[in-house]
Structures are given as C-alpha cells and as structure tokens.
Chain A
C-alpha cells in the first residue's frame, strides 16, 4: 500500500501563474478530501468527493480555486491565478465511505507564491 501520493512536494510560483496540485488516493478508497493548512487559519477543509462526485465545496475560498476528480485514482486542485495569500501546505486525504478507519493523509504540497 503506497499511501496517498501527492505531487509536487514543493511548488514555488509567481503571482498570477496557474498552479495544479495532484493527488492519488489509496486504491479502493472512495472518499477524497483537500485541506489547506496555514498558521493563521489552521487546517481547513476545501472540498471533498465521494465516489468521484463533489459533495461539499463550501470551503473553497474563491473562484480562483477549482478541484476535479475525473476517476477514482486521481484528483487535482487548481489555483488560477495564484496569489501570495494562497501560500500554504495543501493536504490530500482519502478514506472509505461508511468506515471511520482509514482517513489517511498524503505528505502535503508546500506552495509558495511570490
């Protein structure tokens, strides 16, 4: 079991550029979550999917953020255009729907927008 895989681990980009973060959930997991962690706001749930369908995107900060899950093994979080205040660590997590065990986090992507 390779765990939840996120890429890239680190991303430095210039303000205004498009940024795409990627996540591969654990095989067999059917829920996927995107979180953002900052010192000021802690761990915020941005959006989550069940069976590839977005269930709750109320945490997505603005229209500049979008997330997709085209299949059970891949999800992206896109920021376009990026701003310095988007700098944070972005975590992806996956789990089995209807099971409380198995909320497993990836290693995170540290995004710096300059």
Chain B
C-alpha cells in the first residue's frame, strides 16, 4: 500500500508567487516524522523542512512552511515568493516509529516544480 502519496507529478508557478505541493500519508503509528526534500537537476537531496507528529505548530523554515493537517493525514509544502532557483523535484517523506530503533524513512513519488519568470 502506498504510504506517501504525492498526486501532482508536475506544477508550474510564476516567479514571486506562492505554491503548494500536496502530500498525504498513511500510518497507524502515533509517532512519526514528515520531511520535505528538494532535488535540483544536479541530483543532490537537500533537506528542507520537518514536522513531528506531536508538534502543535506547523513547521516553518524561511520561505518554506508545512501545512500539517493531522486528522486528514496531509503535510503540504508551501513555498512563498517562488524563485527561479526553486525549480526542482520535491519529495515528501515519512519516518515511521522510533520504538525498538525502527526508523525507516520512505519517500513519495515526487512533484516536479517549474518556476516561470
């Protein structure tokens, strides 16, 4: 069963506008972590933002914020004031369970974002 679902294979946004990348997840574990990574054309995986399942507030890191809706099991990434350098592949990931040292990190299929001038 798909644990991380990113339904948008590709997205376009105008420079300086905001964009939301969708992510839904499926887990029965009460303790989990949600991550977003950026992969530019150069290929490296760059960590952007993290949200813990027990965190009361939505995570923010500069222009990145995570819209965490626990009941809906969604963890959407919001990028404000898009820049040309934001054009990349974006992956949502989930870490399940810390008990017993179980800390598997699994990824969604990704969303390719293109920022237009």
Residues of A within 8 A of B (CB): 31, 33, 35, 42-43, 45, 48, 50-51, 55-56, 89, 91, 93, 95, 97-98, 100-101, 103-105, 107-108, 110
Contact = CB atoms under 8 A, between A and B. Distances in A.
Interface residues of B, number: 23
Interface stretch (B10-18, B19-27, B106-114): B106-114
A50 B93 CA distance: 19
User: What DSSP secondary structure best describes chain B's contact surface?
Assistant: strand
Contacts of B107: 35, 42-43, 45
B47 A100 contact: no
Most buried by B among A35, A43, A107: A43
Nearest to B107: A43
B105 A103 contact: yes
A89 B41 CA distance: 13
A91 B109 contact: no
A101 B61 CA distance: 13
Contact of A31 (B37, B91, B103, B108): B103
A103 B35 contact: yes
B101 A97 contact: yes
Contacts of A55: 101-102, 104
B27 to A, nearest CB: 14
A108 B39 CA distance: 12
B95 A100 contact: yes
B68 interface: no
B104 A56 contact: yes
A48 B102 CA distance: 10
Closest 3 CB pairs of A and B: A105-B45, A100-B33, A43-B107
